[in-house]
Amino acid sequence: MANEIRLVEAVRQALREEMARDESVVVYGEDVGVSGGVFRATQELQDEFPEQVYDTPLAEAAILGMGVGLGATGFTPVPEIQFASFAYQGFHQLVQHASRMRSRTRGTLGVPMTVRTPYGGGIRALELHSESFEAGFAHVPGLKTVVPSNPADAKGLLTSAIRDPDPVIFLEPTSRYRASRESVPEGDHAVPLGEAEVVREGADVTVVAWGAMLHEAMDAVEDAEADAEVIDLRTVSPMDSATILESVRKTGRCVVVHEAPRTGGLAAEIIARINDDALYHLEAPVERVTGYDVPFPMFAREEAYRPDAERIRRGIERALSA
């Protein structure tokens, strides 16, 4: 059985089912209780689970620090940070404590915390409400970084994240929250972390994207004069290198798309892995289609900053013509 729901509703469904399955699951954060969250992802959950859903003060360091303590003492914390860039205020809790608890205690303790947070642009928000910092999170050993692109994966990946024994940051693309209704399995639905999906098979060029950019990439390849293979990375850390390499060995060309700034972005990591293990299969240099090396602009310049189908299509053409 399946139902047609939006991504934000799929997130809520996963939270509801995991709290019903396991009373150690605790959802908390700024306005997640009475108000149901800034995007209403937790709407009405406090009414259904009054002992498992809590509002907190505006204090991101305390929210994430509390998750470390809860996780180490038998709870399964699922805090919400209202926007991903607000997590900078508590980044030290992730780097210095949550991500290294298992190695620090030689496996005795873990922090099964899933930090949910909206991220990325496309909703014309204010400063510090639209950034894409997945490369920063992915650079932290011991912290998994997950980015769903569609409702079914949002439910399945969030379910797996909550059941994971170690910390996960779950980045929910804001522009996709209510973009479409898609089929989502009812009942238990888990998508394994660390596994990419080939969402479109092709023979001429590989396009790698995740989150909201996956949809821009799909629009681009529809009009491209090439038989493109598209990969939804889904989990950026740990990265499913095998799926990327297998595709690149077949097509010989690759385009990586992300919304984050170009320098130090995950495209560079993907290119390095291709160079390590598939260099002699390349017919052309790998193309990057990314945001620019500037702070995410205010909404008047937002569309000029974010990669769109036309920019991605030009990237595909460069990869094919080289």
Helix (H) or strand (E) holding 114: strand 114-119
Distance CA 83, CA 224 (A): 34
Nearest residue to 78 (alpha-carbon basis) of 184, 145, 167, 143? 167
Answer whether 32's CB lies under 8 Å from 39's CB: no
Which residue matches tokens 């821009």? 216
Distance CA 308, CA 322 (A): 22
Helix (H) or strand (E) holding 232: strand 228-232
Q: Which two tokens stand for residue 24?
A: 């150690």
Determine whether 258 is an active site residue: no
ω before 238 within 30° of 0 (cis)? yes
Rg of the chain taking only CA atoms, in angstroms: 19
Distance CA 79, CA 87 (A): 11
Q: Which two tokens stand for residue 320?
A: 């094919």
Catalytic residue chosen out of the listed positions 97, 129, 215, 258: 129
Sign of the dihedral defined by the CA atoms of residues 228, 212, 274, 261, in that order = positive
Cα 202 to Cα 205, 247, 252, 315, distances in angstroms = 7, 9, 11, 16
Label residue 105 exposed, middle or buried (CB < 10 Å: 0-12, 13-18, 19+).
exposed
What values do phi and psi take at 183, rounded to 5?
Answer: -70, 130
Catalytic residue numbers read 129
